[in-house]
Amino acid sequence: MLVADLFNDTDTCRLAERTTILPGSLHDGIDGTEIVPCLRKLVGEDRPEALVYGSGFERRPELADQLASAFPVAGNRADAISRVKDPLSLASLCGEIGIPHPKIRFEPPKDRRGWLTKVPGGAGGSHVRPATSFGPSPSRRYFQRYVPGMGLSALFLAERGRARIVGYSRQWPSPSAASPFRYGGAVRLPRFPREKGEKISRWLNGLVARTGLVGLCSADFIDGPEGTFLLEINPRPGATLDIFDDDDKPLLTQHLRSVRGESVEVPVFRGAVASAIAYASRPIPRFPSLDWPPLTADHQRPGSELDAGDPVCTVLAQARSAAAAERAVKARISELTPHWEEYAG
């Protein structure tokens, strides 16, 4: 396995045959002019079976086609990505299918209370802000009506024009002063209401049929007193992959089968698994060398310089119920945080 990303976490480097750091940054995204030469250097004389990409391409869907011109990409192409990540396109699709979707607009509303601003193609929630926090015309952003409720996500395999639901998860934010809607974590739900699941399945079948999506994708919803609203579609493997993966039926294998147009097998789960991201609350000039405990991943490299808000690691926990797994993963983050916070500036 060859891996290219923006971080080169220590456990990733240990597990992969070779790794490299992609050109770009978490704030500015991937450098499209350098990504193909960077990957060619990583690949060398090898002939990879497939290139599987994760987040970071939604802001520039054309990069997916750029990669496909040089490598066998196992994932969605620019057209499908654009259809679900462009705010107007997604709103139009939701209208055709009858999927509740928060109102959007590009001109500032007269009264900004009850509105959010988002970056088209943004991921992770860090780009979402209350509309009242910006001046007359926030650049490169659009407005979306705020809907109260709980974050809900459906992981699905887009297989031959239909959506095969893998499972549902509940999500929560990890707010900071600059990013009140920053992604915090998710817990796999052992049970989900049948009627609501059938409704979501119909919605996603309609979206897959109209967009040509393939492979592992996820749909993010808000579920609250006003109903269930689709917020966005993530047309690639995402943050909840870890809490749904299965040794007998690995989801990456199912992703590759789906992209090739083959039939897929959906795992059957027991109990609940939660994952959450631990963030640096203050700048850390030089990250320490830590003896990482089990059920942690994406370990920050020793010696790295972190800004406040940068991710430190991913933490996981298992339990019989979703509530217990969520409590456990949050408790583990609280226990781990002092190990690096003492090095903060």
Three-state SS string over 107-136 comes to: CCCCCCCCEEEECCCCCCCCCCEEHHHCCC
What average pLDDT does the segment 2-22 reach?
88
The whole-number pLDDT of residue 215 equals: 97
- DSSP-derived secondary structure letter, 263: -
Facing residues of 117 across strands?
129, 143
Cα(14)–Cα(19) distance, rounded to whole angstroms?
A: 9
pLDDT tier for residue 22 given thresholds of 50, 70 and 90: confident
Cα(235)–Cα(249) distance, rounded to whole angstroms?
A: 21
The whole-number pLDDT of residue 15 equals: 87
The whole-number pLDDT of residue 139 equals: 76
Task: Kindly write down the DSSP assignment for every residue of 73-112, as one continuous string.
Answer: B-S--HHHHHHHHSHHHHHHHHHHHT-----EESSPPSS-
The whole-number pLDDT of residue 74 equals: 96
The whole-number pLDDT of residue 137 equals: 67
Cα(218)–Cα(235) distance, rounded to whole angstroms?
A: 7
pLDDT-wise least confident of 80-84, 114-118, 120-124, 273-277: 120-124
The whole-number pLDDT of residue 304 equals: 92
Whole-number average pLDDT of the chain: 93
Cα(205)–Cα(231) distance, rounded to whole angstroms?
A: 16
Cα(64)–Cα(78) distance, rounded to whole angstroms?
A: 6
Other beta carbons within 10 Å of 31? 13
pLDDT digits (tens, 9 = 90+) for 56-76: 888 889 999 999 999 999 999
Q: Is the pLDDT of residue 177 over 90?
A: no
Residues 89/82, Cβ–Cβ less than 8 Å: yes
Residues 93/211, Cβ–Cβ less than 8 Å: yes
Cα(301)–Cα(38) distance, rounded to whole angstroms?
A: 21
Find all residues with CB under 8 Å of 21, minimum gap 6, and list them. Answer: 4, 5, 6, 7, 8
- For the chain, which residues make up each domain, given as ranges? 2-78, 79-259, 272-341
Percent of the chain past pLDDT 70, that is, above it, reads: 99
30 vs 2 pLDDT, higher one: 2
The whole-number pLDDT of residue 95 equals: 97
Residues 113/132, Cβ–Cβ less than 8 Å: yes
What average pLDDT does the segment 3-21 reach?
88
Cα(326)–Cα(151) distance, rounded to whole angstroms?
A: 14
The whole-number pLDDT of residue 238 equals: 86
The whole-number pLDDT of residue 146 equals: 97
pLDDT-wise least confident of 55-69, 92-106, 220-234, 289-303: 55-69
The CATH class given to the 79-259 domain equals alpha beta
The whole-number pLDDT of residue 206 equals: 98
The whole-number pLDDT of residue 247 equals: 87
Residues 171/220, Cβ–Cβ less than 8 Å: yes
pLDDT digits (tens, 9 = 90+) for 259-318: 999 999 999 899 999 999 999 999 999 999 999 999 999 999 999 999 999 999 999 999
Q: Is the pLDDT of residue 149 over 80?
A: yes
pLDDT digits (tens, 9 = 90+) for 23-47: 877 667 788 889 999 999 999 999 9
